[in-house]
Chain A
Amino acid sequence: MKGCINNIIPFSAVDGVGNRMIVFFQGCNFKCLYCHNPETIPFYSVADYKDGMVMTPEMITEKAKEQMPFIRGVTLSGGECTANYDFLLATVKLLKQEKIHVLIDTNGFVEQSKLIELAKYADGFMLDIKAMDSGEHICLTGVSNDLVLASFETLLKMGKLTEVRTVVLGNLIDSRSTVDAVSKMIAAANPEVPYKLIRFRRHGVSEAGKDLEIPAESLIEELKQLALRNGVVTVITL
């Protein structure tokens, strides 16, 4: 089995606690206006893929073993890695056979049966919740958030949610109501799940996101306090 891998960063400080190897899968089912890596959005067939690497699960696992003993595990990201489900599942299984800690970084836009199967093997998931309002979500990503919210609940129930993230914007979406709702849901199910609020930045963003506004520092702090008040134990702001 082969998959299209846009890039691998052997040592990463920004994809989970500790040092992790991060694998960026090619292809995403969202088209977020603020995407920082728009080159990872298009899907390619293995035969046509020129921009990155065509790899097998064995090759990814071998690359991870090369980074030992310096890494704590591997984070599978994208693009949207769950969009390449069969290849992702095979990779996760193989990494776990080698007793390597695996986190999946996902937008949650995946059938629940597939998510449950992945969660049997993966150690945890980092889930993006971009907007609670479905209309806003469609505006921002091009698709509805029904599946995302289902994934949120599924992962919370399974105890496999490692982190939830929301990118805070200065306009387009009501970040306040999204943070309010998400933090309440986290607090109700498991207040220990960290919630990360990421301040929108322009770096890497394509023409499509040119009208998006960077939120004030004060809004980030206000939303952090809101999430804490709602009962989330750890709120991280970036």
Chain B
Amino acid sequence: MKGVREVLESKILTYEQKVLALARLAEDSVHPLRMSDELKETMEKGIICDLNEGHAPYRPRYIVPDYPLFMAQGSAFLELSPPKTLDEALNNLLILYKHVPSITSFPVYIGNLDTLLEPFMSDESKDYESLKRFFIHIDRTITDSFCHGNVGPKATKAGQLILRVQRELETSIPNLTMKVNGDTPDSFVIDGINTALKTAKPSFANDEIFAPEFTGDYGIVSCYNGLPIGGGSYTLIRMNLAKLAQTTKNKKEFLDQALPMAAKLIIGYIDERIRYLVEESNFFESSFLVREHLINKDKFTAMLGVIGLAEAVNHFYDDGTLESHFGYNAEADDFGETIIETLDQLVKEHQSVYCLGTNQKILLHAQVGIDTDEGASPGCRIPIGEEPPMGTHLKQSARFHKYFPSGIGDVFRFDETVERNPEYMLDIIKGGFELGMRYFSAYGENADVVRITGYLVKRSEIEKLRQDQQVLRDTVALGMGADDNQHVLSRKLRK
């Protein structure tokens, strides 16, 4: 962590980035959490990582406000009446976004925008201009790519206009997901595909899997996290399976000893962070979002992330050939699933008292990594550089999706020929969903906006930062690190 003077004297950070960095330093100067030496040691080894969540959780990591309720009632605290026109609706939303906390201090969920705005649609060309201004405002003020909006699963006029705006603006913010189910018309999905090839969004979420898990009301948030609407996730702590595997001699020791021990430590740490947040921080006693029922403690959950499954498996199976690796070797893939199944069981056996949004269960999350990670691929992904042919890849990946309600998914880079045949990607998405895949992301090889791991960054902005130029959005630095350490811009080209 940088020192106070280093932050405030920086020539690269913007004023806003400095204020946020200073707030993090202040938070980290106190140590209210009870942490065992064993936990601290495991964290120092990088096996457990709190992803820069800070030493004193005073707001949930991910907040998923009930925006339809906000539309219906306005806000007493913000002195806003329910909107009657599109411009009023957009203005109210932009105001509320500035008051939705998160770990980055920027909102990670901005609503199921098409269904939210459809009632206000009137004149197409005027509405388009209003939506365009709205999205420019978001991109220039919510300067963090973990901000995520949803569209679908119903096709709407508002949804079409929102996608058209994305194609015109080609911004990295907000991230966008299209929910897709059996009733979503192909034409709407193809509209989404054409948009994704141009500007790396939307991704596609399998609504038929997510909806029953969250009894209907869920949002796709931050990178690709499924979370209950009107709640969110208190915290996300992750386990590095690759590093854990390196501490063990064989598979049996890994499964029978190391994994249960690490799970116990990480679950304990998640519970301790929730305890401080709920019982001591007074967040739920001081937020107007709670008072106005836009969020409710009863709808929160917590997330346990994993990274480096591929490398953990390869630790036991690598014999120097690609054929021995995760993604190529059926036995290695089976062992990978056994690891996740075991962890899933350990997590399900635990009752986390404040996770009332998910029946007191913590949710598994395939974490996409952070910029400094090396030697551990995101979640359950096959490492970049080792990607098998697409069909094999998708089938291998799909088997892990059922374990991760709070997010998992691969990112594919497509050749420009796909732009002339979006049905090609439609077939791939539908096939994947049929096999139980819950999430799919793609971008076109020529796009400036690219999906780094879960979030979006412009390649042109990464280049600016490489030349020590100041950039508006804080996630550009993360994208540059992820390219330096994980070569994310070198994904296999699919055609």
Contacts and interface: CB of A to CB of B under 8 A. Distances in A.
Interface stretch (B239-247, B249-257, B316-324, B413-421): B413-421
Interface stretch (B23-31, B307-315, B388-396, B459-467): B388-396
Interface size, B (range): 20 to 34
Contact of A70 (B418, B431, B495): B431
A17 B423 contact: yes
Given A10-B390, A19-B425, A70-B390, 18 more contacts: A10-B389, A11-B391, A13-B420, A13-B421, A13-B495, A14-B417, A14-B420, A14-B421, A18-B421, A18-B423, A19-B424, A19-B428, A19-B431, A67-B391, A70-B427, A71-B431, A72-B427, A236-B420
Nearest to B394: A70
A217 B423 CA distance: 26
Contact of A13 (B394, B417, B434): B417
B187 to A, nearest CB: 14
B297 interface: no
Q: At the interface, is chain A mostly helix, strand, loop or mixed? A: loop
Contacts of B427: 18-19, 70-72
A11 B418 CA distance: 11
A51 interface: no
A66 interface: yes
* 4 pairs of A and B residues whose beta carbons are closest in the complex: A70-B431, A19-B427, A13-B424, A18-B423
Interface in A12-52: 12-14, 17-19
B435 A69 contact: yes
B414 to A, nearest CB: 8
A72 to B, nearest CB: 5
Interface string B421-462: 101111110111011000000000000000000000000000
Nearest to B494: A11
8 contacts: A11-B391, A13-B420, A13-B495, A14-B421, A19-B424, A66-B391, A69-B431, A70-B431
A238 interface: yes
Interface of B: 389-391, 394, 415, 417-418, 420-421, 423-428, 430-432, 434-435, 494-495
Contacts of B425: 19
> Most chain-A CB neighbours within 10 Å: which of B391, B417, B432, B494?
B391
A68 interface: yes
A238 B415 CA distance: 15
Contacts of B420: 13-14, 236, 238
Nearest to A17: B423
A225 B78 CA distance: 57
Contacts of A68: 431
Contacts of A236: 420
A70 B423 contact: no
A46 to B, nearest CB: 26
B401 to A, nearest CB: 15
B389 A13 contact: no
Interface of A: 10-14, 17-19, 66-72, 236, 238
B244 to A, nearest CB: 34
Nearest to A70: B431
Contacts of B428: 11, 19, 70
Q: At the interface, is chain B mostly helix, strand, loop or mixed? A: helix
A19 B435 contact: no
Contacts of B431: 19, 68-71
A21 to B, nearest CB: 9
Given A68-B431, A70-B431, A238-B420, A11 B389 contact: yes
B372 to A, nearest CB: 34
Given A11-B428, A70-B431, A19 B389 contact: no
B148 to A, nearest CB: 27
A236 B419 CA distance: 13
Contacts of A70: 390-391, 394, 427-428, 431-432
Nearest to A19: B427
A206 B391 CA distance: 32
B418 A13 contact: yes
Contacts of A11: 389-391, 424, 428, 494
Contacts of A72: 423, 427
A17 B427 CA distance: 10
Nearest to A21: B391
A236 B427 CA distance: 21
A236 B420 CA distance: 9
A238 B428 CA distance: 23
A196 B434 CA distance: 32
Contacts of B494: 11
A69 B430 contact: yes
Contact of A18 (B417, B426, B495): B426
A18 B391 contact: no
Contacts of A69: 430-431, 434-435
A19 B421 CA distance: 8
Nearest to B426: A18
A14 B430 CA distance: 19
A10 B391 contact: yes
B426 A13 contact: no
A14 B421 CA distance: 7
B389 A17 contact: no
> Most chain-A CB neighbours within 10 Å: which of B424, B426, B431, B434?
B424
Nearest to B434: A69
A22 B435 CA distance: 22
Contacts of B424: 11-13, 18-19
A70 B415 CA distance: 17
Nearest to B433: A69
A11 B492 CA distance: 14
Contacts of B426: 18
Contacts of A18: 421, 423-424, 426-427
Contacts of A19: 423-425, 427-428, 431
Contacts of B394: 70
A72 B421 CA distance: 13
B486 to A, nearest CB: 25
A68 B431 CA distance: 7
B338 to A, nearest CB: 25
Nearest to A71: B427
Given A18-B423, A19-B423, A69-B435, A13 B415 contact: yes
Contacts of A66: 391
A72 B425 CA distance: 11
A72 B432 CA distance: 13
A190 B391 CA distance: 36
